[in-house]
Amino acid sequence: MARSFTPKVVTANALLEGDAVWLTEDNTWTRDIHEAELITDEAHGDLRLLEAMAQADKIAGAYLADARSGPDGPEPTHFREAFRTRGPSNYHHGKQAG
């Protein structure tokens, strides 16, 4: 039996600010993971990652990160990805500062 695929989002850092961004269904980049495209098919994920990496003038370091469906849209499953949606814990900087 084929291994079940954990849902993913394509994420990267914005080219100029370095802020965490996620790929949406319409090929734009959002700073809110809830607006990202949740990918549930492995082959589609590989394709979306390639398409993301082609946007070299907007982002850097694209990769697929595990995610799950939540009430407001995709949400992170791992603490590292959760930190990327907020910012550091020692100062009110980054996304949490709005």
Residue 17, token pair as written in the block: 């600010």
Separation between Cα atoms, residue 9 and residue 43, nearest integer Å: 13
Nearer to other proteins, 44 or 78 (CB): 78
Answer yes or no: are the C-beta atoms of 28 and 41 closer than 8 Å.
no
Nearer to other proteins, 17 or 26 (CB): 17
Q: Which residues bind other proteins (CB under 8 A)?
A: 13, 15-20, 56-57, 60-61, 77-80, 83-84, 87-91, 93-95
CB of 8 to other proteins, least distance (A): 15
